[in-house]
Amino acid sequence: MKHFYGALMLGFLSTLTANAQPQTNALPKLPVRRPPYYSITDHVVAQLATPVSGREIVSLVHRLNIVPKELYFEVDINEEPILVGGYVLQNGESIENVSRNMQDKHSTFLREAMASLEEARLVTADPSILARLDTLYKQLQIIPPAVEDLVIGAIRIDDGPAMLEMLQTPRGAFSGVLSIRSSEYPSRSIKSVTSQNQNALATAAITSNENSFPWAPTSGTSKVTQGFTFQTFYFSDVGGFSSNSSYEHETQIYDTAFAQDGGYWTSNMPNAYHDTAFLDNIGIEGSSSVFNPTVGTSRASSLLDNTQYYTYVALTPGSATSATVKIRGQRGHRFPSWCDSTWCVFADQTTFPGWLADFTAPITYTLYWTF
């Protein structure tokens, strides 16, 4: 996991109620919250008071005279999100080029994810598995194929202190456009002690002798190439998560020359976040050469039994033509409990080697695994 670097929550958005029942012939909806909005020392993530479309973000950025580093999008049904995601602007990438570059990765996601689900349906006759896969497939069909039609709900901007001051200025340039919901700064002493303790805890949990993971996914699919990692999975019993639990579905790639993060990610898990790569490899054998593109949820207690979840991260090909890949589940917790940022999530236990899946990438097929 990573150090807690002064994460500042700026607000939580509304959620779907976990026990809402789908209407007849309506697509089942999942309790997916919008991305967490927070600040750390060098950047701020702020909520748009009124979400804008992908085609409107360029003019908004120019009007506010800001330099965004990441855009957060959401896909809604009846004004409730069924999935969230983000796009990190690459080095030197202008906002004018975002639409084209993001479109390429967005289109690849839709094409590859739907093809993988179609392939997964061919390897099972289990009606419950087919029903879960069909529900997820229908969710992906709702996603707008054009980036210009995506809803941008938040942006990440560099220069956190200056941005916070501007955001807090009444009737300033950002008034009525970007908003702050709350502001709290945990002390440096707590952060320092916490990061040291959590690093030790993460290593101990990963190397423990415990051989049971009742909280881990029961079954799922995996596909990893040099262009993306697409994972699906479901839980038979989410009772192993407490109200403060987090869950991360990890793609551990054991050669950093195989691929690097491509800047685009998405998931239908509640409170989904793209895990920071900072200190990402603590407790992983051979960690100096491991690349771990990961998406998690800071609110694992909001996960539902027997619901097909997915994570997708775009990758940029490297020079290595193959690499060992290990798919792992990781249970953690939030500290402080009110903070949903990736910087506030710490590992408690990671599944053993061989649990969930081990293989050599790239694979041109969809791997099905179960426990």
Cα dihedral across residues 242, 243, 245, 246: positive or negative: positive
User: Biggest alpha carbon distance in the chain?
Assistant: 60
Neighbour tally for 118: CB within 10 Å: 12
C-alpha distance from residue 180 to each of 71, 163, 244, 369 (Å): 17, 11, 23, 43
Helices (H), ranges, the chain: 57-64, 95-121, 127-142, 160-167, 188-206
Q: How far apart are the first and last CA of the chain?
A: 25
Average pLDDT over residues 172-180: 62
Average pLDDT over residues 319-343: 88
The pLDDT of residue 295 is above 70:
yes
User: How confident is the model over 35-70, as pLDDT tens digits?
Assistant: 444 444 456 777 888 888 998 999 988 888 888 888
The pTM (predicted TM-score) of the whole model is 0.80
Cβ neighbours for 251, distance < 8 A, ≥ 6 positions apart: 224, 229, 231, 292, 293, 294, 313, 325, 327
Burial of 171 (0-12, 13-18, 19+ CB in 10 A): exposed
Tokens of 158: 């560099």
Amino acid at 249: H
Q: Which helix (H) or strand (E) holds 315?
A: strand 309-317
Tokens of 318: 């490297």
Measured distance CA(53)–CA(68) in Å, rounded: 15
C-alpha distance from residue 84 to each of 81, 102, 139, 321, 341 (Å): 7, 15, 12, 31, 14
What beta strand segments (E) does 245-298 contain?
245-253, 259-267, 272-274, 294-297
Tokens of 115: 């093809």
The pLDDT of residue 227 is above 90:
yes
Determine contact, residues 155/71, Cβ cutoff 8 Å: yes
User: How confident is the model over 66-88, as pLDDT tens digits?
Assistant: 888 889 998 887 666 778 899 99
Mean pLDDT (the chain) is 77
Neighbour tally for 92: CB within 10 Å: 6
Determine contact, residues 271/297, Cβ cutoff 8 Å: yes
Least confident range of 44-53, 312-321, 322-331: 44-53
Q: Please tell me whether residue 29 adopts helix, strand or coil conformation.
A: coil
Query: Which pLDDT score, from 0 to 100, does residue 182 have?
Result: 32
**Is it true that the peptide bond before 336 is cis, omega within 30 degrees of 0?**
yes
Determine contact, residues 53/71, Cβ cutoff 8 Å: no
User: How confident is the model over 127-165, as pLDDT tens digits?
Assistant: 999 999 999 999 999 999 999 999 998 888 776 566 666
Determine contact, residues 331/245, Cβ cutoff 8 Å: yes
Cβ neighbours for 171, distance < 8 A, ≥ 6 positions apart: none
For residue 325, what is the DSSP state? E
Determine contact, residues 139/147, Cβ cutoff 8 Å: no
Measured distance CA(47)–CA(272) in Å, rounded: 16
pLDDT-derived band at 120, boundaries 50, 70, 90: very high
